[in-house]
Every structure is written in structure tokens, then in C-alpha cells.
Amino acid sequence: MDEPRIVIIGGVAAGPKTAARARRLAPKADITIIERDRYISYAGCGMPFFLAGSVREFGQLFTTAYGVVRDADYFRREKGVRVLTGNEAVEIDRSKKEVLARNLETGEEFRIPYDKLVIATGSVPLVPPIEGLDLKGVFRLNHPEDAIKIKEHLEGVSEAVVIGAGLIGMEAADALREKNVFATVVELKDQILPGILDRDMAEVLAARLEEQGMEFRLGQKVLRIEGDGDGNAAAVVTGQERLEAEMVIVAVGVRPNVELARKAGLKIGETGAIEVNRHLQTSDPDIYAVGDCVENLHLVSGRKVYIPLATYANRQGRVAGDNVTGKKSVFKGVLGTSVMKVLNWNVGRTGLGQQQAEDLGFNVVTVVNSAHDRTHYHPAHGLVLMKLIVDGNTRKILGAQAIGPGEAVKRIDVAAAAIHFGATVDDLFDFDLGYAPPFSSPIDLAQHTANIARNKMEGLAPSVSAGEVKAKMDRGDDFVILDVRTAQQFGAKHLEDDRVMLVTLGDIRERLGEIPRDKEIILLCAMGVRSYEALRILHGAGFRDIKYMEGGLQAWPYEMD
């Protein structure tokens, strides 16, 4: 094609990536970015780390890896791209193929013609309908200036409330803890990281974070933020209590910014974001859309989803850069792969969650595995709790989640690759993964988790979850919890219940006669390995009503003595 006039609306992530890729492919193209803000091409995901102090200088969020500031001059000199900061795209005239823009300082309006247009207008924060959002000390964390204001306000603050336990809220709470600010997280839903973790994984994570001093108020609706009489935030009031707070961070999610696209008559999808095809074209073939303003195809469910993530924005920018310059690249879809760190715990998920898979009609099999991320004798080994969601009919992996102070994210990336290519749990075991004691165990924990799923589906490892055991205990069911840890481990911490029986794994063959055969036996250990071994011993001895608790006590989120 002839060198095109390319206009891009939006200059944060997807827009600049589109421009950079288009320039490499079309050296003579006329490329313009319109951005209403004065900040462009910034690392929004780095803002919590700036608050925490691990990113020391604000400017680091705007520089290249080689130290050059990514501003309009940088794009002009190094990319050959014209960036119009402080200018807002007001209207798209599709018939004339022009964008009407307005200078926000002078009010002057002007038109920019295009051959190909890219909409990268991103998202806007959701504003909950509560009183007190205008008080001093109430912030969001969606923009660089938010980060600056929060950091300036932190001086002297000792108590804060974060509204929302999603990714941004949890990262904000983590940053506050790094600055020695006591943070309470309030969440409308009854678990942390809703939409990221299944309830069982979220409960374990919340319990471990609470052990380190973080507090949660789950299933509570915020009614209002109260002031102190001088216009400063003083407390957050929920339906159950009043929480004192010298600072409040509101992080209840975002919605796609689609008003410009809607006004132009472009099709808005079922999720409320802009509908695009595999080439990221909108309903107008000369207009593309990328980043947080678009919906995507979920590769497992086959349904349209709205999952705004920086990874998608950047990858889509490359695809759009290809297509506006004449190539025919596709963006196949997403798995919702998300990772984060809170306190000393790593968190990740990919693919479908358990409830999502069940709602879609899959024959769902789940397993939870507690394991070390590397050999147990390596001094840097750490715990990872990994969950697989599997289709019992096809044995394909549908989703994976992992949490722990150990290296969880590596395993989520392996699972994401497996799901992308339609791998089964059998395929995952066959993956040729790298091994050395500083990095893994000889059979990686992701493969161990796959093997647990294989054993479960083949009837070798009948199991129950920690939640199911707790429910049985609360109902007063008549069963036996057979703890097979050592006496020393049992003495340090155990389930306080008359139905608990201690029989160390090494003694179990000699004590078979003491174990009742007329009751259900649930086997328990620290991580699940010994209890599975014990289950197979009991099975060989003729016991039939036997199960082991997945993940062991590492997966137990409830109080213990």
C-alpha cells in the first residue's frame, strides 16, 4: 500500500506501541498521536512500586531502558512520530476520514485527516456511588498524578483504608505496608481478588496475609467516607462498622472508554467495550481499536470478555501497527493471565476459574497441590500452592492458579502455554522443563500438579478439599481425620477435634488394626504427599472409604491449635 496517514487516539501504552511498530514497517508514513494528557507512554503498572519506594524516582516510569525520557520530543526524534499532547479527539468523521481535535489550553479546534485510524482511548476508573469521594485524602491509583498525590499525602499517615480487593487495590495495600502504613482492605464481594482467584485459593491467601498483619473486611458495602469537619477523610463507614482512616484509596475497577467510538457509530460489543475482529478492526474497516477500550475473545470459553491488561495493550499495539501498514496480522485472543505480588506472596492465574468452567458446562476436575518451587535442600526453596482446572472428558487443562512465597509465576506461564496449545495434563507431564536445584525439583511442581490430576481421574487419588473437610467438621459428621505427620509436627500445630487420630506414616503398616474400617477416613499431612502415600497403603490393606485432603495443612485457611 502507499505510505498511509495514520492517526492514533491515545498515547499511554497501546497507542505508542502501534506507532512504533508502524514506523518500523512504514518509514515514510505520516503518523500522529493525539493525547489529551501531558503524560505519554508511561509505566502505569509501576505506580504501586513508586509508592512503595522500590521505584525511587517518578521519572523512571517515563524513561526507556537506556534512560531517555519518553516524551513528545523523544517520539519526534527517535520514532519520527508527531505527538500532540494536551489535545483531545472530539469527533471522528468517518465519511471524510478526519478527526476533529481540540487544544485543551486554547480551545482551538482543528481537523486531522487519516487513511487508517487507531482508537486507543483506554479505560476510566469506576466511581462508586458513595458520599465523601471529594474529601481530602481520598485518592484513586489510575494516573501518574494520583501516585504523586498519594506519595505526598503519606507523610505522617498511620492508618488507611483501601476500597476494593482487586489487583490495583491489593497492590496499593502492599505499597502502603511498605511505607509502614496500616491498611485495611474493604471488598464488596466475599473474597479477595474476585475474578482472579477461586474462593479456595483466595481464602488461603487472605489467611496468610492476615497472619502478616494485613486486614480485610470482606462482603461489606461501603456506605460513605466521613470527614473530620475540615474536609479531610477521617473514616470509612460500611454496613457493619466504622473504620478510621487518614487516607482512602478507591480501587473498584475500570470500564472501557468508548464514548468517542460510540459517537462515531462504531459497534460496541456485548461486554460494553469496542467490538473488534481478529485483525483488531472495528465495524469500520479503516478504524482499528486496541488496549483497554476493546473486548477480546477468550481462547478457552470462546466468549467475548473484557480484561484490561498491559500485556494485551502492548501485544495488540504490535498487531495494529502491522495491519495499518498493510500486513495481515491477527490477535488470536486471551487467557486472562494475571500475576502480582502482595507482601511476600506471589499470585497468578490463567485460563478459566473453577466456577467459570462449571458454568460453561465442562466436566470439571480440580486439584490443589502444595509443593516446593525448587529442591527442598536448596536454601532458597519456597512454598507454592497450585491449582489446576481440567476437563475430565478431554483431560485438557482449562485453567491454573498459583500462590505462595515461592516462584509461582513461572508455573502459571507454563500453564498458559499449555492451555494456549490445547495441552492435556498428560502433555504437561511430558514437557521438557529445565531442572537445577536453584530453579526447580527434578519433576517440576507444575508437572506434579498434573500428575495429581491424572491420579485423581484414574481413581488412584480420591480426595477432598480443605473446605469440604471443614464443612464435615462443622456438621458433626462421623468420620476420622488420620494425621500422618510426625509427632513433633503434630504437637506444634494440628486440628483440634476429637475425630483426629495421629498415626505417623512410618508406623501406619504396623498400626492398621487401630484404624477403624467402618468409618470414612480422611488422610492429612503438611502438604499432601504423605497423606497420598498413606492412602495407597490403606487401599492396599483393603480400606475403601478413604480420601486425602488436597494440599495438606498448607491449604488450610482456618484457625488451628
Give the mean pLDDT of 495-514: 97
Model pLDDT, residue 63 = 95
Burial bucket for residue 295 (CB in 10 Å: 0-12, 13-18, 19+): buried
Are 248 and 139 in contact by the 8 Å Cβ rule? The answer is: yes
Based on the domain organization, do 114 and 10 belong to the same domain?
Answer: yes
Give the mean pLDDT of 413-437: 98
Domain tally, the chain: 4
Helix-helix angle 445-457:409-420, to 10 degrees:
50
91-114 pLDDT, tens digit per residue, is 999 999 999 999 999 999 999 999
Based on the domain organization, do 173 and 269 belong to the same domain?
Answer: no
pLDDT band at residue 259, thresholds of 50, 70 and 90?
very high
Based on the domain organization, do 380 and 471 belong to the same domain?
Answer: no
- The percent of residues in the chain predicted with pLDDT above 90, rounded, is 99
* Listed residues 400, 433, 457: the one ending a domain: 457
Q: Among 39, 45, 63, 232, which one carries the catalytic annotation? A: 45
Based on the domain organization, do 479 and 541 belong to the same domain?
Answer: yes
Pairwise CA distance, residues 433 & 306, whole Å = 32
Pairwise CA distance, residues 161 & 138, whole Å = 10
Helix residue ranges per DSSP H, 129-279: 144-153, 167-178, 199-211, 259-263
Model pLDDT, residue 400 = 99
pLDDT band at residue 560, thresholds of 50, 70 and 90?
confident
Pairwise CA distance, residues 318 & 517, whole Å = 63
Cell of 379: 536454601
128 assigned to some structural domain: no
For the domain that residue 200 is a member of, what is the CATH number?
3.50.50.60
Based on the domain organization, do 406 and 471 belong to the same domain?
Answer: no
Average pLDDT of every residue of the chain: 97
Pairwise CA distance, residues 451 & 65, whole Å = 41
Pairwise CA distance, residues 391 & 361, whole Å = 10
**Nearest CA-CA partner of 199 in 185, 219, 177, 181:** 219
**DSSP string of 485-541?**
S-HHHHHHS----TTEEE--GGGTTTTGGGS-SSSEEEEE-SSSHHHHHHHHHHHHT
pLDDT band at residue 77, thresholds of 50, 70 and 90?
very high
* pLDDT of 1 higher than 60: no
Based on the domain organization, do 227 and 318 belong to the same domain?
Answer: no
131 assigned to some structural domain: no
Based on the domain organization, do 150 and 167 belong to the same domain?
Answer: yes
Based on the domain organization, do 403 and 545 belong to the same domain?
Answer: no
Pairwise CA distance, residues 458 & 541, whole Å = 19
Give the mean pLDDT of 472-497: 97
Identify any residues that bridge with 370 across adjacent strands, giving them in sequence order. 385
**Nearest CA-CA partner of 419 in 299, 512, 520:** 299
What is the number of residues in the chain?
A: 561
- DSSP letter at 79 equals I
Identify any residues that bridge with 87 across adjacent strands, giving them in sequence order. 103
Could you tell me the CA-to-CA distances from 243 to 206, 221, 389, 395 in Å, in that order?
19, 12, 38, 47
Could you tell me the CA-to-CA distances from 518 to 479, 484, 501, 543, 545 in Å, in that order?
9, 19, 15, 9, 8
**Nearest CA-CA partner of 202 in 52, 82, 355, 32:** 355
**DSSP string of 259-319?**
HHHHHTTPPB-TTSSBP--TT-B-SSTTEEE-GGGB-EEBTTT-SEE----HHHHHHHHHH
For the domain that residue 412 is a member of, what is the CATH number?
3.30.390.30
377-409 pLDDT, tens digit per residue, is 999 999 999 999 999 999 999 999 999 999 999
**Nearest CA-CA partner of 435 in 454, 410, 455, 459:** 410
Question: How far is C-alpha 390 from the chain's CA centre?
Answer: 20
Cell of 228: 473530620
Based on the domain organization, do 435 and 532 belong to the same domain?
Answer: no
* pLDDT of 561 higher than 80: no
174 assigned to some structural domain: yes
261 assigned to some structural domain: yes
Angle, alpha carbons 13-66-325 (nearest 5°): 45
Q: 425 lies in which domain range? A: 344-457
535 assigned to some structural domain: yes
5-33 pLDDT, tens digit per residue, is 999 999 999 999 999 999 999 999 999 99
- The percent of residues in the chain predicted with pLDDT above 70, rounded, is 100
Pairwise CA distance, residues 328 & 285, whole Å = 13
* pLDDT of 3 higher than 90: no
Q: In the annotation, is 45 catalytic?
A: yes
Give the mean pLDDT of 288-312: 98
129 assigned to some structural domain: no
Based on the domain organization, do 186 and 92 belong to the same domain?
Answer: no
Based on the domain organization, do 246 and 210 belong to the same domain?
Answer: yes
Pairwise CA distance, residues 316 & 64, whole Å = 20
What φ, ψ does residue 235 adopt, rounded to 5°?
-165, 155
Beta strands in 62-197 (DSSP E): 82-85, 87-93, 98-103, 109-113, 116-119, 123-125, 138-139, 159-163, 182-187
Give the mean pLDDT of 71-90: 97
Give the mean pLDDT of 509-526: 98
